[in-house]
Structure 1
């Protein structure tokens, strides 16, 4: 078997094992469940509020945005944190010692984080189907659209997580990135349509994949007439595919370069230096 293909096969197997471990670890489960659960509670409190210009509940309108936010937090940030953590405890260094080990390691991480992200979405969808009306969960096309939007969204965002994990030296250093992501959540229409924002802020939101991921998920789960509340008055599927596809291409071009440089820099001395730095941090 081709060495690269063997590494990918080993990575898929590793991903399945890590996914089962995540699903049996109470701390991992809590980390994946807590943010969307809090968001659902907030949206339930606001269930009597309506989307401006419509009679639709703001709570049900926000469910797809919560799913999009979960993709970013559980998938993108989860992968970034996993990479930085494994660099600190020398897991990545051990993978580097095996032929094509880094490729297998990264494949496993991507597979496991993607699987955890998909599983965590049902933590939102199942209770949301009972808490909120107006979600189009009974249509086949809803699930078809949900599937391709989610798949494309993961392909567009997971490489960004890998890049962040390679660039930052520790999980604590990612805190700034988390604040930036929370800012993007605020401007990307996750909890409120962006058409009421200033024009420059609308343009800024549309640069990033979170806006398009949330828009695509709304097109899957909400009634078609709610497209009137969006920019341009439509779900803009073509633009969604274009922007998310562009981010995916950029990610797959940049991530291998950044990750290969990061892997080359990994050594026993660099791991020891990070451990010494971590030991000096105040508790």
Structure 2
């Protein structure tokens, strides 16, 4: 059998197994449920407020934006966390020692994390369908648009997340990612229309995928009248495709280079040194 295909198949199996295991671990189940409950509570509190200039619920407008945010967060942060943790505990070194191991490892991570992102979306979307009125949830086009944005969003963010994860020396340093990600969420129109912010903030938001994922989700799930709250009063489908596509191209070009450099640097001595530093911090 072709070694590459064998590595891919092994990675697919590994990803499915890891995803299945998350449903049997209390910590992972809490990681699914707690953020979903918090987001639903926040959007419910916002339900009685209205999008400026419309009679539409601000909570309902935030629902598709939150779905886009979850895709971006899962693609950028979750895979970076996994890589940093498993680099420190020697998992990456063991994968490197097996023929095709790194390819299988990365395929497994992509499958597992993409599956976890889909679970997190379902946990927010399904209750939201009953909590919020006015969402355009009928029609095949709506669901195809939703799935298309999710797929493109994962392709645009996961390579960047993998590249970032390979740059951090340990899992604790991943915390440095949280502050800028939270800042981008705050200015990207997730919980409030981006057109309410100064123009220079709008330009910063549009430079990153979180804004475009939120916009893509809103274009799929919100009624046409809500386009009035968007920049240029347009869903900007072509711009969304171009922006997320550009991030995907950059990520797919940069991530393999960075990951190969990281893999070459991995050795038993480097893993032992990181473990020793971790033990010293605990002590």
TM-score by length of 2: 0.97
Cα shift readout 1:57-105 (whole Å, capped 9, x = no counterpart): 0000000111122123333211111111111111111000001100110
Task: Specify whether residues 74 and 31 from structure 1 end up closer, same or farther in structure 2 by C-alpha distance, changes over 3 A only.
Answer: farther
Partners in 1 of 2:99 and 2:203 — Cα distance? Answer: 45
Q: What residue in structure 2 maps to residue 281 of structure 1?
A: 281
Give the Å deviation of 1:131.
0.9
Cα shift readout 1:127-182 (whole Å, capped 9, x = no counterpart): 10111111112222110110101100010011111011100011110111111100
Give the Å deviation of 1:282.
4.9
Of 269-278 and 244-253, the range deviating more from structure 2:
269-278
Partners in 1 of 2:234 and 2:13 — Cα distance? Answer: 41
Q: What residue in structure 2 maps to residue 156 of structure 1?
A: 156
Q: What residue in structure 2 maps to residue 114 of structure 1?
A: 114
Cα shift readout 1:230-277 (whole Å, capped 9, x = no counterpart): 001011110000000000010000000000000010111111111111
Give structure 1 regions of 4+ aligned residues with deviation exceeding 6 angstroms.
Answer: none
User: Which runs of no fewer than 5 residues in structure 1 stay unpaired?
Assistant: none
Q: What residue in structure 2 maps to residue 14 of structure 1?
A: 14
Residues 12, 107 of structure 1: 8 Å contact kept = yes
How many residues are paired up?
283
Compute the RMSD of aligned alpha carbons.
1.2
SS at match of 1:24: coil
Q: What residue in structure 1 maps to residue 37 of structure 2?
A: 37
Give the Å deviation of 1:114.
0.3
Partners in 1 of 2:278 and 2:77 — Cα distance? Answer: 20
Q: What residue in structure 2 maps to residue 233 of structure 1?
A: 233
Partners in 2 of 1:175 and 1:17 — Cα distance? Answer: 27
User: Which runs of no fewer than 5 residues in structure 2 stay unpaired?
Assistant: none
Residues 228, 234 of structure 2: 8 Å contact kept = yes
Residues 85, 171 of structure 1: 8 Å contact kept = yes
TM-score by length of 1: 0.97
Give the Å deviation of 1:34.
1.8
Q: What residue in structure 1 maps to residue 271 of structure 2?
A: 271
Partners in 2 of 1:220 and 1:26 — Cα distance? Answer: 33
Q: What residue in structure 1 maps to residue 223 of structure 2?
A: 223
